[in-house]
A and B are shown apart, each in its own frame.
Chain A
Amino acid sequence: MDPQQHAQPKVIEIVPQDAAGGDEALFEVRKKIYPRAVGGWFARWRWGMVIFTQLLFYGLCWLPWNERQAVLFNIVERKFYIFGIVFWPQDVFYLAVLLIISAFGLFLFTAVAGRLWCGYACPQTVYTEIFLWIERLFEGDRMARMRLDNAPLSAEKVARKGGKMLTWALLSAWTGFTFVGYFTPIQELWDTLWRFQLGPWEAFWLLFYSGFTYMNAGHMREQVCKYMCPYARFQGVMFDPDTLTITYDEARGEARGARKKGVDPKSIGKGDCVDCHICVQVCPTGIDIRDGLQYECIGCAACIDACDQVMDKMGYPRGLIRYSTENALSQRWGWQEILRHVARPRVLVYSAILAVVTGAFLFGLLTKSDLKVNVIRDRGVAGREVDGGLVENVYRLQVMNVGEHYQFYSVKVSGMPGITLASDNVIELPAESSHIFTMRVRVAPESGKSGANPIRFDVESLLGDAQTSEKATFLIPR
């Protein structure tokens, strides 16, 4: 790559290494990538996230809560349990807000430090990491795996490959089982699984999720990020010159080349890069970070760990490959300067929106009522005369007890002088059920104008603090 391109830092030009002429097929056969094992500060972070996310995923579904599973999405009955809260389809609003929070979280993290999600938390990365670890257990590290793939078929090869595939398959099956366990109570699922009585949909999703875990983490790997994932492609527009990305310090590293240990690179006209290619070997997407920022880079920081180790061995300062920004690199900023640029308008606006929406979301959750009421006036009955010269209107109150306890509610009507309820003013509802109650309301015709009069129904739990009021209209015939 031509070093002069960095004289104009604004233009990010990506030139393929062998762009000079020649032709190629429209379809490209994948070159298998053998990522080399790497340890270090960022690898520990990555593994920390693997353990954290997977403990959550594999473990949460087994957690009990009173008489039921703590987290369960019951699609058949359309009730979604998350610890103490039961969500009904009417609560899809919360899901929308949660998605908004996720989106702004993603925007914020990406604006500050690039593809943090891709590198540390995305299931594709996490499962690839786990599957690679299993692969390493059976087939060894990069060189051993490459040798094994090139070796002729032998009992050892079959044993190693077979062992790996079997372990992968078992883990995939467990992953699929866990996934379905969030939709069918997992204890029940476990029992039906062993009695071979899985429902067709459960069997389908178990196999589907298992199959795709195996395929994506075992075989597709970086291709999911390169060819399928939309986020990988639109991350580019969320970067700006102050976004932290994994960066090769070209000015410091070039001219690259091998040298003897202890030789001062300047004296032989070289930079700090010893051109050992370890940064390329550890890369799970098979790119050379020294070519600059590329769309394939998932920001996993494996190359930083690898390069730091080499720098340590060479006795050079760490950070030839590091988290840095475009501006920091071109203007030789230190960490303090980089941090000062984190608090830029974009980041502040994202943070502010995120804080407000998250606050509103938490407030909404904490004040979520276990009672929902809809009032519908009987349209066919315009208002009938009843004994005592009163006018009667009929309403349907659809009352939903969203909570997990049997409830008694009092119903009151107000809004016109002397308005009364001619039906039972106490109603009862079993837990998590809804019922339509027919309510007759009476008032003297002189209490309101002829035509529509606004009234209000107040429904209040007699056992808890749930209460709600709904507007309605009372019709007095002319």
Chain B
Amino acid sequence: MSDFNNEFWNVWVIVITLGGILFCVLLLWTQSRARNTKGEVTGHVWDEDLQEYNNPMPNWWRWLFYLTVVFSLAYLALYPGLGTYGGQKGWTSVGQYQEEQAAAEAQFKAAYGDLLKQNIELVATDEKARDVGERMFLNYCAQCHGSDAKGAKGFPNLTDADWLWGGDPAQIKETISKGRNAVMPPFGHLGPQKIKDVAYYVRSLSGSVNPHTPEADRGKAVYNSAGCTACHGAEGKGNIGLAPNLTDKVWLYGSRDATLVETITHGRSNSMPAFGEFLGEDKVHLLTAYVYGLSLGNRTEANR
């Protein structure tokens, strides 16, 4: 216990604690010898005439009092209580927490141990693993990605075949355990007209708008010259781990014109927190398998 900034307080606590117990013993001892006038009332009167006799207590009650003294001394010897003295049993709340954690860990290992040794693809098909994965997902992931894992604005859909950071088991595992940080730099310096054009062009890549217009041509020129190709590639197909594919109809922030203009003008900054340390290797393994399994039905042979 490092709660005391001064040795005085340590002594102070010990003296008060032991002094209190000693006082109780002395009080008991003197009261065991005291005599009382028979039929004496306590002096309290209720409801006009209701009084209380000062009747003697049963003798065994006194031994209960002594028992509490014995208990408290034994407790103080075994557990912390006397100032900085830690007790014979060496108990600490942190220690108890760690013990319980270890017990829970052992229980988890016993229940899911064989799953932890299998590879992700196999675990993803196991019903028991999916159940525990679902519970963990609802606990830790659903706040952002939604209970159905289909995401929300700024939070990717995990059930489709589109992966920003890769959909391989190893890549998913890395995303969960280490987290991800992504930045799209702002291009506000291009000016409103150019931004409008490039936004139009980007939308035309996925067929949302007609690609054969002057706007699209102007936008394409901006796209190629302003530096967009560095990350999103010449064809706008993006790069795993670097920039999203602009040619599919998957939009993290939305496909409306105004949304794209905002994205290009101000940029975007987003992050996925790291869960590796918090959940531990074993739970990340099961969670990875669950997330991997979510999109299995939507994957094509190519990206399966």
Q: Do A and B come from one complex?
A: yes
Residues in chain A within 8 A of chain B (CB atoms): 11, 14-16, 18-30, 223, 226-227, 378-382, 384-385, 394-396, 423, 436, 438, 440
Q: Which of B35, B57, B146 contacts A381 (CB 8 A)?
A: B146
Residues of chain A with a CB closer than 8 A to B36's CB: 23-26
- Whose C-beta in chain B lies nearest to the C-beta of A387? B249
Stretch at the interface among B58-66, B85-93, B184-192: B58-66
Q: Which of B31, B144, B155 contacts A26 (CB 8 A)?
A: B31
Min CB distance, A43 to chain B, in Å? 28
Residues of chain A with a CB closer than 8 A to B134's CB: 436
- Whose C-beta in chain A lies nearest to the C-beta of B55? A28
7 further interface pairs, Cβ-Cβ under 8 Å (given A24-B38, A25-B56, A26-B56): A16-B39, A24-B56, A26-B32, A27-B58, A28-B57, A380-B152, A440-B148
Residues of chain B with a CB closer than 8 A to A27's CB: 32, 56-59, 61-62
* Complex CA distance for A436 and B142, rounded to whole angstroms: 12
Asked, given contacts A227-B61, A380-B146, A396-B147, whether A23 binds B152 with beta carbons under 8 Å apart, the answer is no
Structural contact, B146 and A11, CB atoms closer than 8 A: no
Residues of chain A with a CB closer than 8 A to B145's CB: 380
Q: In this complex, which of A26, A223, A384 has the most chain B Cβ atoms within 10 angstroms of its Cβ? A: A26
Residues of chain A with a CB closer than 8 A to B155's CB: 380
Asked, given contacts A15-B39, A19-B38, whether A394 binds B58 with beta carbons under 8 Å apart, the answer is no
* Complex CA distance for A89 and B28, rounded to whole angstroms: 45
* Complex CA distance for A378 and B141, rounded to whole angstroms: 12
Structural contact, B38 and A28, CB atoms closer than 8 A: no
Asked whether any CB of chain A lies closer than 8 Å to the CB of B138, the reply is yes
Structural contact, B56 and A378, CB atoms closer than 8 A: no
30 A-B pairs, CB-CB below 8 angstroms? A14-B53, A21-B38, A23-B37, A24-B35, A24-B36, A25-B32, A26-B32, A27-B56, A27-B57, A27-B59, A28-B57, A29-B59, A30-B58, A223-B60, A378-B146, A379-B143, A380-B142, A380-B143, A380-B144, A380-B146, A380-B152, A380-B155, A381-B151, A382-B153, A384-B151, A385-B254, A394-B147, A396-B142, A423-B148, A438-B148
* Complex CA distance for A289 and B13, rounded to whole angstroms: 54
* Complex CA distance for A19 and B51, rounded to whole angstroms: 15
Structural contact, A26 and B38, CB atoms closer than 8 A: no
Residues of chain A with a CB closer than 8 A to B151's CB: 381, 384
Structural contact, B138 and A28, CB atoms closer than 8 A: no
Min CB distance, A203 to chain B, in Å? 20
Min CB distance, A237 to chain B, in Å? 10
Structural contact, A28 and B59, CB atoms closer than 8 A: yes
* Complex CA distance for A395 and B140, rounded to whole angstroms: 16
Our count of residue pairs bridging A and B at CB distance below 8 angstroms stands at: 97
- Whose C-beta in chain B lies nearest to the C-beta of A24? B38
Asked whether any CB of chain A lies closer than 8 Å to the CB of B237, the reply is no
Structural contact, B38 and A22, CB atoms closer than 8 A: yes
Residues of chain B with a CB closer than 8 A to A423's CB: 148
* Complex CA distance for A19 and B32, rounded to whole angstroms: 21
- Whose C-beta in chain A lies nearest to the C-beta of B62? A27
Residues of chain B with a CB closer than 8 A to A11's CB: 49
Interface residues of B in 18-35 (CB under 8 A from A): 31-32, 34-35
- Whose C-beta in chain B lies nearest to the C-beta of A14? B53
Residues of chain B with a CB closer than 8 A to A21's CB: 37-39
Contact with A along B137-170 (1 / 0, CB 8 A): 0100011111110111101000000000000000
Min CB distance, B152 to chain A, in Å? 4
* Complex CA distance for A14 and B152, rounded to whole angstroms: 78
Min CB distance, B220 to chain A, in Å? 27
Min CB distance, B182 to chain A, in Å? 19
Residues of chain B with a CB closer than 8 A to A378's CB: 142, 146-148
* Complex CA distance for A30 and B38, rounded to whole angstroms: 17
Structural contact, B31 and A396, CB atoms closer than 8 A: no
Q: Which of B57, B147, B153 contacts A438 (CB 8 A)?
A: B147
- Whose C-beta in chain B lies nearest to the C-beta of A396? B147
Min CB distance, B79 to chain A, in Å? 20
Min CB distance, A236 to chain B, in Å? 9
Contact with A along B227-271 (1 / 0, CB 8 A): 000000000000000000000000000100000000000000000
Min CB distance, B68 to chain A, in Å? 16
**3 closest A-B pairs by CB:** A19-B39, A28-B56, A438-B147
Q: In this complex, which of A18, A395, A438 has the most chain B Cβ atoms within 10 angstroms of its Cβ? A: A438
* Complex CA distance for A305 and B34, rounded to whole angstroms: 42
Residues of chain A with a CB closer than 8 A to B53's CB: 14, 16
- Whose C-beta in chain B lies nearest to the C-beta of A28? B56
* Complex CA distance for A227 and B62, rounded to whole angstroms: 13
- Whose C-beta in chain B lies nearest to the C-beta of A377? B147
Min CB distance, A358 to chain B, in Å? 32
* Complex CA distance for A394 and B145, rounded to whole angstroms: 11
* Complex CA distance for A116 and B60, rounded to whole angstroms: 29
Asked, given contacts A394-B148, A438-B147, whether A18 binds B38 with beta carbons under 8 Å apart, the answer is yes
* Complex CA distance for A132 and B38, rounded to whole angstroms: 33
Residues of chain B with a CB closer than 8 A to A19's CB: 38-39
Q: Which of A18, A384, A396 contacts B152 (CB 8 A)?
A: A384
- Whose C-beta in chain B lies nearest to the C-beta of A219? B60
* Complex CA distance for A227 and B61, rounded to whole angstroms: 9
Min CB distance, A24 to chain B, in Å? 5
Residues of chain A with a CB closer than 8 A to B144's CB: 380
Residues of chain B with a CB closer than 8 A to A436's CB: 134, 138, 147
* Complex CA distance for A27 and B28, rounded to whole angstroms: 11
* Complex CA distance for A261 and B170, rounded to whole angstroms: 106
- Whose C-beta in chain A lies nearest to the C-beta of B157? A384
Residues of chain B with a CB closer than 8 A to A223's CB: 58, 60
Q: Which of A16, A23, A385 contacts B35 (CB 8 A)?
A: A23
* Complex CA distance for A29 and B150, rounded to whole angstroms: 76
* Complex CA distance for A24 and B33, rounded to whole angstroms: 10
* Complex CA distance for A436 and B146, rounded to whole angstroms: 13
Min CB distance, B59 to chain A, in Å? 5
Structural contact, B57 and A396, CB atoms closer than 8 A: no
* Complex CA distance for A226 and B56, rounded to whole angstroms: 12
